[in-house]
Structure 1
Amino acid sequence: YREMMLALKNVMMVVVESLINKFEEDQIHHKELDSKTKRERQSGYYTDNCSDSDSSFNQSYTFMSQEQLQLLVERLDPIQPKEVRQEALQTLCCAPPSDILNSESWPNLRKHLTTSLSDPDATFSEKILRFYAKTFSSSPFNMTREVYTSLARHLELYFLSGEYSLRISAGLDVSNTDINRLLKKVRLLNEYQKEAPSSWIRHPEKYMEEVVESTLSLLTVKHEPNHPASPDFLSPVYFLALLDIKAVWFKKWTHAYYSRAVVFRLLEKKYKSLCDSIRIMAMYFNSPVKFCLLLINPSKTLKHEAIAEKWIFRFLCDKPNFSYTGPELQFIYFVHSLCLLGRLLIYKQGRNLFPVQLKNKKGSVSITDLLVLFIRLIYYSPSYPKTALAAHTDNYSPASLVMEILQVFCDQTGCAAECLYTDAVIDALLHPVQSLLSGTEVYINCLETTLIDVADILARIAAVDDGLSLLLYGENEKTAKDDSPTAVQVIIQFTKKLLHDDISLLSGSKNFPVVKGAFIFVCRQMYRTCEGLQMLIPYGLHESIGEAWKKASLLSERVPTPVTGADSTSRISLESKNVLLWEETLLDALLNFSATPKGLFLLHSTGAMNDCVNFMFSSLSKKLQTNDYEEFGNRVIVTQMATTPTGAVALQSSGFIKALVTELWALLECGKDDVRITQPKCTPVDPIDQSCQKSFLSLTNFLTYPAVFELLSKQDLPNKPIYSLREVPTDITDIIDRLIILNSEAKIHSLFSYEQSHIFGLR
């Protein structure tokens, strides 16, 4: 045993000595490669200057002890010679980031790295950014947060330093070396902002709070108010907006409550007062306010439209842009702020930050004021060529961005109640409508598109009970003035004028039928309820829609015969499609009057009952989906129509009852052809078979007393002596004869599933 231990000890000594020699050889070889790389860089062969272009492949790691790390920190001190620091930085890039971040020397090393990022030599900042990028991609959040805060602190000090002198009015040249280096740092910061939310929930909240606080501290950097360059200061938010124009980082930060609570808590408490008690969000809001106020003034709108359209179109173009003018920077900043504010207002904690004190101005801006500005931005934002947006996945036009925000607000019940359901917002939405009704001059770009957008928001508001009540009675029913028209009155009057082609500014427009259909749909959302219909009855909207339908049906019958020539044929075909589409829109609007008993009576008075039922049956046959904002489908309308004799007769003449009975018979007697029978079907024990439940409910809902009396009175049962197996019932009388009153052997033998079918009939 003793000899074995001695032999093993000798072997281990040889192995350890061999490993030490190998390590020393690797160190010497590494130094030779380092010197060779330096010579190549000096000779011009080394051209890779991207901060994050270094591949993770073909890299070797150098494992270092604490003594070596301490020596490395000393060699990275800014007072050391340039060559010593370069060699130490190269060694740092080859070491595992986890070992460095966990070492005792990391606090001092972080200070040296932060200082070296400002070194005039681009080599230092490039290598440090490469080390930061490798750390972000390979280390956990509890380690990378310190690297992030270090980079954010460096940028904050740089923007506050005297060497930074960029101004908004001077524009920004991205091809400049210094600006390019700065953008690389901000880009690395932004990439980490987008990735951090996926992992910080697994770590203590204080780690996330450090990242959020360092970010907010950086974004609120600005000069003192009395500084001569303070109003024209190109703040860090502009650089962040250039790289993340739609504020995706903020969307990810506020997606989960875990991080959203921290962000809003810091915004409300720690960053509540900045320079004369201005909230942090006022900094974002200041530029959009100026932009909106410029566009809201109609006299200035026409003057600045050509300029604004020019730089918006340039921004939307797909050409590389290496320089940005002052207005372009303001627009990019505006889009970023608009997306951020839209995300902020979704949540109650974000809405609690308002009202916001404006910078160097008396008064404050509430949520209602902000939404009114947003809506006015839809009206007065410069128009842009449609072709410019066709090739882009993202639309950066102000009107489109505001529409996205308002649509999200409408889908959020709590947000809509606090933000949209106010008289001021509704008045702002109806401003172009009231101007067209009164005949005053309208300063609106793309009037048709604006009206379609307004109708879309109004329809979303009317689809909710609280929103419908606001449109019908106003924000406060008791204090509503009798002499001032309500929103529903304005909408109905405008819709009637549209149906009568009484709006001169819109006549002859290609989108005129679309505008009509959009406002008819708003009215549909109101007269689908008894309360809303009661408000619409005095205006005779059903008569106007009925007259428009009669004109459209006459036009559809007068479609000209195509003549020789492809162009004329395609033009006539397009016109006929538009006429048919307009006719179907009007029929659909008339059909939805039958959602209420009083509305069904109004539909009958228009004389379009049979045509509406035929249209509904055609839609059901095509299995068209119901609109997203409808609370009921066509089957509810069928039940409502069946409560009147006229409606029941119309349903029978349209073929609806025949189709319903045929479908029911197929489910009961035929079954599915594609089902492979592997064992005999067991006797049903459920109250009703699941496959027949839908047809059963449709049939029972249809069989109201007026329908039964109208369809079965003076009708005799067939009671045939022989029933063919292929004979299918076509009406209610046949169903009673074949499934309920089984008083002969012929009826019993004609059923494949006698028990199930007879029980179904008895139910």
Structure 2
Amino acid sequence: PLQVRQEALQTLCFAPPSDILNSESWPNLRKHLTMSLSDPDATFSEKILRFYAKTFSSSPFNMTREVYTSLARHLELYFLSGEYSLRISAGLDVSNADINRLLKKVRLLNEYQKEAPSSWIRHPEKHMEEVVESTLSLLSVKHEPNHPASADFLSPVYFLALLDIKAVWFKKWTHAYYSRAVVLRLLEKKYKSLVNAAVQQCLDYFEFCKAAVNKNSRVNGFSQQHCGDMQNFSYTGPELQYVYFVHSLCLLGRLLIYKQGRNLFPVQLKNKKDNVSITDLLVLFTQLIYYSPSYPKTVFAAHTDNYSPASLVTDILQVFCDQTGCAAECLYTDAVIDALLHPIQSLLSGTEVCINCLETTLIDIADILARIAAVEDGLSVLLYGENEKTIKDDSSTAVHVIVQFTKKLLHDDISLLSGSEILPVVKGAFIFVCRQMYRTCEGLRVLIPYGLHESIGEAWKKTSLLSERVPTPVSGADSTSSISLESKNILLWEETLLDALLNFSATPKGLFLLHTTGAMNDCVNFMFSSLSKKLQTNEYEEFGNRVIVTQMATTPTGAVALQSSGFIKALVTELWALLECGKDDLRITQPKSTPVDPIDQSCQKSFLSLINLLTYPAVFELLSKQDIPNKPMYSLREVPTDIIDIIDRLIILNSEAKIHSLFSYEQSHIFGLR
């Protein structure tokens, strides 16, 4: 009777979960609890679910795993029973009481999936394996292939995708090797159908997008429709398919990061004659960037959690670029590079381009190409192709396409992009790809015949003429009134071009090319201005600027530019402050060692900067026509501003006046001598 069951459940809820799970009657009780989850009385089954939730939150993993496997088993039996009859084509009304209860059960399961990885490493592997296997078994539930409704069956994975669309549970399960090894081993041996189904879902969605694009119609994914409709409690069939597609995409993106995950490929699909390899899947991912629906770039800022396929795929490919082994196996192939370059080649050849949000697509592609070019192996693929270390026909390499397209962008020769508000962003993105290449000697050698430096130089000269008309911002005035948005964009574009030209000086040959553009002084002024504003906050950018300064100093012209920009003065002033004044906020925890250390640690960076600057051409250009001041008296407040002053004050101490002008005579003189 219902009353007896309710009383028994109430008694059960009052008892501590640990006592229940440790009792001798637990195995029998567990079986009955699993059956009670299917109780026709909604209130009673709801209380059972609350008991499960209470157990999850207050018991250790070795106990909760049994409750979890019980809930997973109940759901598996329910989906396999004749009682369950939901179909994808019919959609899903989540306001329906029965569906709402089912979603609560799946959500409880999903919450536990996310929490379990934080504790299961402290328990035997078999406990974790039980949880993993019960989950994969549930997600693999489907009708038999010969069943008439097999393709339309709304399987458990759809419900999980609704609640965890980006497959966070799978990300957490594969984060640590301890659990990842078990998950991937079970996928390989028993549940590979899950991977096959995910690949199939991505293929189906891609075919749908491609068909829509070929008909010259925009694909309207549910992701756009749902943004403004927060009160919608039902999902149509296509919307459910899209949710499962996003879940599959995120799951596969995580799977391919790991060597064991990549070993699951190639996969054999029922409706495809050939196996689907990793390269096939990556080409498909790449094509989704330009065939799938997408938001304009200006809209992205308003959506912190964007579910558009292009954005998701870009995120996945960015992660691949950061993983050395994964990038080499997945991205550094001719097929994937060709897929990335397809929209660019179409624009270059003038063929019809049916791509949603063309500018956004190009920016995403440029971002991936720049990440590939930043790594030596990736750069080699762009310059020479997948299997060749010697230059082949120029027109067939990726670098040819990229540089030609960048030049056309700079000359405004792409008619489809003319008048676009974010065209400068597209230009900047592709200039950055080229910059990653011409910052190396190998890349610059291949790029020289294209005269890219001339195109960037011409674009800068045109922009600098426009920027001269921009009024100077008035302090205290409203920024929007003193300088228009258009003027800000002009100044920003000019800085982008100067930065691109400046990076030519990373190599000796590139420095010569920069000199031919006539922008040397402006580039050095820009660099000094950026450093003064401390715009370069990360270590990589700071290192890059040190390389550029060293290269600049190897030529007389560069040395003069550094001098006239105020860079050398700032460097000498900073050095003097560290050497003679020290840091006011530096706590003295122990007395300085005696004798004095050759170089104080706080001055080491300035020392290296000065040494890199003082090449023979720079020294000759800056000092050859100067005399050492040798003043009869030096004020303690007199700060050196030039290289000759450093020589006078720290090295050639040939008078009492010089010695008495130093606060830290020994340290400063030793520094100068070194």
Taking structure 2 as the reference length, the TM-score comes to 0.91
The verdict on how the C-alpha distance between 1:484 and 1:616 changes in structure 2, with shifts beyond 3 A counting, is: closer
**Any conservation in 2 of the 1:556–1:580 contact (CA below 8 Å)?**
yes
Q: Matched residues in 1 for 2:643 and 2:277: separation? A: 62
Deviates more, 1:511-520 or 1:111-120: 111-120
For 1:530 and 1:385, how far apart are their aligned partners in 2?
Answer: 37
Deviation sequence 1:189-232 (CA, Å, 0-9, x none): 11111111111111110011111111110000011111001000
C-alpha displacement of 1:692: 1.3
Q: 1:338 matched to which residue of 2?
A: 249
Q: Distance in 1 between matches of 2:106 and 2:302?
A: 28
Q: What is the alpha-carbon distance in structure 2 between the residues aligned to residue 680 and residue 92 of structure 1?
A: 69
Deviation string for 1:536-581 (max 9, x for gaps)? Answer: 0001011111111111111111337999999997496212211111
Residue 241 of structure 1 aligns to a residue whose secondary structure is: helix
Deviates more, 1:614-623 or 1:521-530: 614-623
In 2, the alpha carbon distance for the partners of 1:747 and 1:123 equals: 92
Q: 1-side partners of 2:528 and 2:449: how far apart?
A: 30
Q: Distance in 1 between matches of 2:383 and 2:603?
A: 42
Do the aligned partners of residues 486 and 656 (structure 1) sit closer, same or farther apart at CA in structure 2, a change above 3 Å counting?
A: same
Aligned to 1:152: 72
Q: Tell me the CA shift for residue 96 of structure 1.
A: 2.1
Native 8 Å contact 2:580 2:668 kept in 1? yes
- Quick check: which has more Rg, 1 or 2? 1
Matching residue within 380, 384, 389 for 1:478:
389
Query: Residue 395 of structure 2 contacts residue 401 of structure 2 at CA under 8 Å; is this kept in 1?
Result: no
Structure-2 separation of matches of 1:440 and 1:571: 44
Please tell me whether the aligned partners of residues 562 and 569 of structure 1 are also in contact (alpha carbons under 8 angstroms). Answer: no
Q: Which runs of 5+ in 2 are unaligned?
A: 209-228
Q: Cα offset for 1:83?
A: 3.1
Contact 1:194–1:248 under 8 Å retained in 2: yes
Question: Which digits, 9 at most, give the CA deviation of each residue in 1:643-699, with x for residues without a partner?
Answer: 111111111111111111111122222223445789986655322111211111111
Deviates further, 369-378 or 620-629? 620-629
Shift of the alpha carbon at 1:390? 5.4
Alpha-carbon distance in 1 for matches of 2:86, 2:554: 75
Residue 333 of structure 1: how far off its partner (Å): 0.9
Report which stretch shifted further, 261-270 or 355-364.
355-364
746 and 460 in structure 1: CA distance in 2 versus 1, 3 angstrom threshold: same
Distance 1:563 1:212, change over 3 A: closer
> Contact 2:456 / 2:501 at 8 angstroms: preserved in 1?
yes
Distance 2:481 2:298 in 1: 23
Report the Cα distance in structure 2 between the residues aligned to 1:576 and 1:354, rounded to whole angstroms: 52
Q: How many residues were matched structurally?
A: 650
1:432–1:442 contact (8 Å) kept in structure 2: yes
Give the SS at the match of 1:430: helix
Contact 2:294–2:310 (8 Å) recurs in 1: no
Decide whether aligned partners of structure 1 residues 724 and 384 sit closer, same or farther in structure 2, where only a CA change above 3 A counts: closer
Aligned 8 A contact 2:201 2:248 in 1:
no
**Contact 2:142 2:153 survives alignment (8 Å):** yes
Note the C-alpha offset of 1:391. 5.4
- State whether structure 2 residue 183 is matched by structure 1 residue 266: no
1:355 Cα deviation after fit: 0.9
Q: Deviations over 1:481-533 (max 9, x none)?
A: 63752001110000010111111111111101111111000000000110000
Residue 181 of structure 2 corresponds to residue 288 of structure 1: no
| Paired residues of 1:684 and 1:756 also in contact (CA < 8 A) | no
Q: TM-score, normalised by structure 1?
A: 0.81
* Shift in Å, 1:243: 1.1
Residues 369 and 649 of structure 1, relative CA distance in 2, 3 Å threshold? same
Change over 3 Å in CA distance of 1:618–1:567 after alignment to 2:
closer
The answer to whether the Cα contact below 8 Å between 2:598 and 2:667 also exists between their aligned partners in 1 is: no
Gaps of 5+ in 1: 1-80, 275-285, 293-312
Q: Residues 385 and 542 (structure 1 numbering): CA distance in 2 closer, same or farther, change over 3 Å?
A: closer
Q: CA, structure 1 residues 83+230, in 2 after alignment: closer, same or farther (shift >3 Å)? A: same
Counterparts of 2:473 and 2:191 in 1: how far apart (Å)?
A: 71
Say if 1:238 and 1:388 are closer, same or farther in 2 by CA, change over 3 A. Answer: farther
User: The residue matched to 1:716 in structure 2 has which SS?
Assistant: coil
Cα deviation digits, residues 147-194 of structure 1 (max 9, x gap):
111111111111111111100000011111211111111111111111
More relative contact order, 1 or 2 (CA 8 Å, 6+ apart): 2
Cα distance change, pair 289–484 in 1 and its aligned pair in 2 (3 A): farther
Question: How far, CA to CA, are the matches of 1:569 and 1:88 in structure 2?
Answer: 71
Contact 1:426 1:487 in 2 (8 A): yes
In 1, Cα distance between equivalents of 2:405 and 2:288: 22
Seen in structure 2, the aligned counterparts of structure 1 residues 389 and 678 have a Cα distance that, compared at 3 Å, is: closer
Task: Return 222-231 or 471-480, whichever deviates more.
Answer: 471-480
Task: Classify 1:609/1:291 alpha carbon distance in 2 versus 1 (closer, same or farther; 3 Å).
Answer: same
Q: State whether structure 2 residue 225 is matched by structure 1 residue 314.
A: no
For 1:206 and 1:564, the matched residues in 2 are separated by: 69
Q: Secondary structure at the match of 2:392?
A: coil
CA-to-aligned-CA distance 1:120-165 (integer Å, 9 cap, x gap): 2223311211221111112211111111111111111111111111
1:290, distance to aligned residue in structure 2 (A): 6.5
Bigger CA drift: 433-442 or 264-273? 264-273
Query: How far apart in 2 are the matches of 1:314 and 1:420?
Result: 22
Deviation at residue 108 of structure 1 after TM alignment:
1.6
User: C-alpha deviations, 1:691-749, integer Å up to 9, x for none?
Assistant: 21111111111111111111111221112222222222221111111111111122222
Q: CA deviation at 1:424?
A: 0.8
Q: After superposition, what is the alpha-carbon deviation per residue over 1:354-385, rounded to whole angstroms, capped at 9, x for unaligned?
A: 11111333222111111111111110212347
Distance 1:82 1:670, change over 3 A: closer
**CA distance, structure 1, for counterparts of residue 403 and residue 186 of structure 2:** 47
Percent identity between the two aligned chains: 92
Per mean C-alpha deviation after superposition, the further-off stretch among 150-159 and 121-130 is: 121-130
Residues of 2 paired with 1:723 and 1:700: CA distance?
25
Kept after mapping to 2: 8 A contact 1:456/1:518: yes
